[in-house]
Structure 1
Amino acid sequence: MSITMFFGGAAFACETLKPGPKGRVVEVTDGDTVILDGGEKIRLIGMQAPKLPLGRVGFEKWPFADEAQVFLSAYSLGKNVRIYYGGARKDRHGRVLGHMFVDDDREKWAQIAMIGAGLARVYSFSDNRHCLDELLMAERQARTDRKGIWAHPYYKLRDAHKPQLLEKRDGYYELVEGRIFDVGDTTYRVYLNFGREWKTDFTVVIDRRAVKQFTEAGIDLQKIEGALVRVRGWIDVDDGPRIDVTHPEQIEILALK
């Protein structure tokens, strides 16, 4: 077992993708959304680019949102693409969820290009977990090289052991690193506690229904006490800052002890 790893495995490799629609990109809405000439609105799954307001009143544009849109436009606008499904095929807004390849070429993968350029973060869902091996590797390299967003404090890794600072990120998508102090197990949830005071310290909350996915991935949550981990998700404040984890790929184990 390598020191740097993440929950998941070969079962979610890209060979499992299923062919979806083809078309020419006629509009790039933002850094992770395009529209094809057939009218399909494509949300590039597996990543999250910095967000533009897109008409939302009071929404503050994220740093590097313009750069992300410009990069994706240069990469795909006016080009023929093929979409491949990696799980759920549409979201509640009717957008197609897929991985996009220019000219149906596996060497021209939009998600890898965006993440590798430091213009998007890995962002996954419990019903769409394919290709995360490659995406996480690309993100790690971009972060190491301080490309794009990784040189900006808005996107810096957060310290799990500074809960007062995490509370200020309430409602933000964050990557948080720290060592698990202990693991709590109740009827409905598993708690990964990062300090002695669960009412104020940072906590990862895993719904009991999601525990099966960890077990299937070969992960015993009761045995990761003391592990140094990186967690990604939306910060919520409820008895201290917390992230709700719905699937294993939201957690990377950096060191077991």
Structure 2
Amino acid sequence: MTTLFLAVTGIQPALSQTCEALREGPSGRVVTISDGDTFDLDSGLTVRLVGIQAPKLPLGRAGFEAWPLGEEAKAHIEELVLGETVTLHYGGETRDRHGRALAHVTVEGEDGPVWVQADMLRHGLARVYSFADNRSCLDVLYAAEAQGRADRAGIWRDPYYAIRDASEVDDLLEREGRYELVEGRVLNAEAVGNRVYLNFGRIWREDFTVVIENAGLRVFAAAGLDPLALDNALIRVRGWIESGDGPRIEVTHPEQIEVLARP
């Protein structure tokens, strides 16, 4: 990443089917699909497509309501990989706490290898979803998501996935516990103890806030980035909505923030 955080204005990185930051892992045939970002190989390994989040399905969870387009996302990935041999590629942690492989995945298509994550994003059937320990190739994935959004593909036609306005505090509070994309201008960025707060309103106990804890600040520092430089910037942040002195999102790594305009 050559600029502070992830700039989404101006020239986008070219969409490619490979990313040099990844190292090749094992291959296997896909035998079952759970949802739009999880499937099983004939080796018994469960694969979670890292870097994206497809609309969720209940998968046996009592009381869980399927997200819109969950079945469509599952159907698309079934068409793409079910019964096919895929290759895993790793760019960070390789296993989650459930023992699933956290991998980027390619499958042979008519015109060469297809990067499954980028394909799902371009079709509007997933959003970029990253972790501090798995941040490879996110610039290309963001560009694929941006293409899907510009084309109003899939989820980008559904209000459930609309980008939220940071000033709409009540609306954000109603979405507590949901993964959301929120846009707004940072009124001020300030360090308080071992945290940094990006405040989007004058009443910090009520308005939307981005919180970066000490562990996250270490990730920013390792990347040579200073979140205090976001003062007065127009940004888009993604993460899980929490309620605490107003709606908030905790940011654990710089790639959760896209800079739309600088002061």
TM-score bracket, shorter-length normalisation: over 0.9
Aligned pair count?
A: 252
Task: Quote the offset at 1:2 in angstroms.
Answer: 9.9
**Given that residues 3 and 255 in structure 1 are in contact (C-alpha distance below 8 angstroms), is that contact kept between their aligned partners in structure 2?**
no
Please give the residue correspondences for 1:170-189 in structure 2 after superposition, counting only pairs within 5 Å.
170-189=176-195
Q: Which amino acid aligns with 1:90?
A: R
Which of 99, 114, 133 is the aligned partner of 1:94? Answer: 99
Q: In structure 2, what is the Cα distance between the partners aligned to 1:114 and 1:152?
A: 16
Q: Does 1:193 align with 2:199?
A: yes
Which of 230, 238, 245 is the aligned partner of 2:244? Answer: 238
Q: In structure 1, what is the Cα distance between the partners aligned to 2:212 and 2:158?
A: 30
Q: Which amino acid aligns with 2:237?
A: V
Q: 2:23 matched to which residue of 1? A: 18
Task: Quote the offset at 1:107 in angstroms.
Answer: 3.5
Q: 2:158 matched to which residue of 1? A: 152
Q: 2:62 matched to which residue of 1? A: 57
**Given that residues 118 and 149 in structure 1 are in contact (C-alpha distance below 8 angstroms), is that contact kept between their aligned partners in structure 2?**
yes
Distance 1:177 1:77, change over 3 A: same
Q: Which amino acid aligns with 1:174?
A: E
TM-score under structure 1 length normalisation? 0.94
> Structure 1: any 5+ residue segments left out of the alignment?
none
**Given that residues 88 and 106 in structure 2 are in contact (C-alpha distance below 8 angstroms), is that contact kept between their aligned partners in structure 1?**
yes
Which of 130, 133, 147 is the aligned partner of 2:136? Answer: 130
Please give the residue correspondences for 1:223-234 in structure 2 after superposition, counting only pairs within 5 Å.
223-234=229-240
Q: Deviations over 1:66-115 (max 9, x none)?
A: 00000000000010110011101110111111001014997311000101
Q: 2:35 matched to which residue of 1? A: 30
> Structure 2: any 5+ residue segments left out of the alignment?
none
Q: Does 1:84 align with 2:86?
A: no
Identity of aligned residues (%): 54
Q: 2:216 matched to which residue of 1? A: 210
**Given that residues 3 and 254 in structure 1 are in contact (C-alpha distance below 8 angstroms), is that contact kept between their aligned partners in structure 2?**
no
Task: Quote the offset at 1:206 in angstroms.
Answer: 0.2
TM-score under structure 2 length normalisation? 0.91
